[in-house]
Structure 1
């Protein structure tokens, strides 16, 4: 039967293998040169396996995302998709999304926008790095794995089988078994053929160091270009942020002005819900009061020939006049005090480029430095 020679050969190899492992029988020893090439080939195979794995981990650190990409790649066959979210891109998108929600054009918001866009640019460069490393480094290593190394390992495995067959027949013949010369010669020739094929394959693999060094050069150059581009982006970003910082430092920042509950149209806790006026009524009443106070101040300041005795105060905060008759001023300016209309409002004047301007202003925005003659101030800031 046709399969009997093959079966007999497999039995011979199994017999010799067990004799060497258990019985202590020595097989044919290969030369030192072959064993050294074998050792270096095994190291090369281990190195390539680790390089491919660790380089992918370096480019795409998230293991969960890598697993998802591998699954998608199997479904989509050989189609390459950019579905790995780069950390730089995720950070940039987050900064931009929140910056837009501020809804204003300030140096800080512009700095956020510049930072977010820069990180998105670095993410795009990272994608380009992945493509370059895959094409010039990972693909050649994968080809080395799947072609050259696999072929060498195939010849080595075949050599091992033919050596076992040759040693088994040689041992059996030495023990008196009927092994004809032709059979021994065929086994020896096949053993020699596999030995040379395996040796030639390992020799060629180990002599191909120029190509392997070129692959390392491609990896290093891709990383150099990536970090150089990122460094250029970050340098430009640092310059822009520095300019925005200087712009922000040169701006006049507003200060918080303490408010009373009455200014927020919140009724007193002593008032009942039935007697509490609505916001509309409060606003109308406040506007009328301001107009009335402004008219009073205008009438008082319009009396000709009447010398007015006054006090003085210093502005604690900026005050923006919002109604007719109010007097606006800046922090640190000195104002004249003519009268205190009530506990919340002063009447006074301020020297300006167009002459003296008069009006009313809040008592809690100023600190009295000289009291109004013959009048006692009631402002908390005027003590």
Structure 2
């Protein structure tokens, strides 16, 4: 038997090479058979590609699929059943939103909204897992069964038919050339060829033209479509509920009472400043410098007038002494610094300073009636509304501003 089988393989190889390279013609089958072969080849390719693309549709991340395949292979080699679930993108995003929503806390409207959306995305991920299980059970598994059983059997009969045809044609060709081949051997090869031809035809017919087969395949596609419809319907309901909840939370956040925030100073935090370590003369000097700068910048608030000249002869020495000693006379020679002296001069009577304050920070008004200003601007004080608010004016504008944004230079009476 072993020698007979080897001889048959040699005959088939001889006939195949002769047909491909020597131009010998083999037994031709009819067009119907060739059309069934073409459709069978398309079906084989279709089933293989459809399984691959369906898995990519359900699990689109190639890195995650490769990792799952690697874990599955290692589990088989080690003999340990270790399951690795595909990370749905909805679930991954939902976990991220839940984590940071909880970190923001319950007092944050944005954090609560993140938690709501994260939980909804987790629900959508669970629905996606249900879709995966449904498609694998009702669509992919029947395709795998078709590939490993029916298609495999049909392809086996076709391969066997091809081998028996080559063996039959080889023996006929050699007999025609005068080789001593018995008729019984040729008749046996012909019978085997006919048997394989019938099996291959019936197998392809049952695969392609059988109504039960067609109904079964269409039913599996319908199950696939129903699973997708159910998945999207459930996701639609989840998203509708989520949208309504988020809109409610948006309105709640918009209607929250505004909280006034007062930034703490270094003194509030009991932090020692640079001036705390200096003596009081430094503070007096700073106040004097600030008053001088204020007089230079806002001269309209501090008006000094030259006293009326006395009706005495021009040549009297007292007039000359008065003229030279008055620092506010533009025709006199200055005796000292042109800056006004903080000490009261007996030669003039100072005007009463208006109540004012200096801005420590920029203040942007948020409500009607509030007065905005910039850092270092001087504001005229008009009234103290309460312990937290002043009323004042600057640059022709009048309004309210917080007490802790300014430093009072001249208090209200």
Give the TM-score of the pair, scaled to structure 1.
0.71
Determine whether 1:213 maps to 2:214.
no
Within a 5 Å distance, the mapping from 1:292-307 to structure 2 comes to: none
Q: Distance in 1 between matches of 2:277 and 2:88?
A: 60
CA pair 259-80 structure 1, distance change in 2 beyond 3 A: closer
CA pair 273-14 structure 1, distance change in 2 beyond 3 A: farther
The alignment partner of 1:42 has SS state of helix
**Deviation at 1:74?**
3.5
Q: 2:128 aligns with which of 126, 129, 134?
A: 126
Question: Residue deviations 1:141-178, cap 9 Å, x none?
Answer: 01111111111111111000000000000101111111
The alignment partner of 2:227 has SS state of helix
CA pair 267-33 structure 1, distance change in 2 beyond 3 A: same
Question: Residue deviations 1:34-55, cap 9 Å, x none?
Answer: 1101101111111111110011
User: Which runs of no fewer than 5 residues in structure 1 stay unpaired?
Assistant: 276-310, 312-329, 335-342, 350-358, 372-376
The alignment partner of 2:38 has SS state of helix
Within a 5 Å distance, the mapping from 1:224-243 to structure 2 comes to: 224-243=229-248
User: Which runs of no fewer than 5 residues in structure 2 stay unpaired?
Assistant: 281-354, 356-365, 371-378, 401-405
Q: Distance in 1 between matches of 2:383 and 2:30?
A: 112
Question: Residue deviations 1:66-121, cap 9 Å, x none?
Answer: 12222333344596835211111111111111111112333322211110100000
- Higher RCO (C-alpha 8 Å, min separation 6): 1
Determine whether 1:149 maps to 2:151.
yes
Q: Distance in 2 between matches of 1:76 and 1:346?
A: 83
Q: Distance in 1 between matches of 2:135 and 2:37?
A: 29
RMSD: 3.3
Q: 2:258 aligns with which of 242, 249, 253?
A: 253
**Deviation at 1:262?**
4.0
8 A contact 1:347–1:361 mirrored in 2: no
Q: Distance in 2 between matches of 1:39 and 1:113?
A: 56
Determine whether 1:70 maps to 2:69.
yes
Q: Distance in 1 between matches of 2:243 and 2:104?
A: 22
Corresponding residue for 1:107?
Answer: 109
CA pair 333-66 structure 1, distance change in 2 beyond 3 A: same
8 A contact 2:71–2:84 mirrored in 1: no
CA pair 247-367 structure 1, distance change in 2 beyond 3 A: farther
Corresponding residue for 2:308?
Answer: none
Q: Distance in 2 between matches of 1:138 and 1:85?
A: 20
Q: Distance in 2 between matches of 1:17 and 1:25?
A: 9
Q: Distance in 2 between matches of 1:370 and 1:14?
A: 106
Determine whether 1:47 maps to 2:49.
no
Give the TM-score of the pair, scaled to structure 2.
0.66
Corresponding residue for 2:160?
Answer: 158
CA pair 218-367 structure 1, distance change in 2 beyond 3 A: farther
**Larger gyration radius, structure 1 or structure 2:** 2
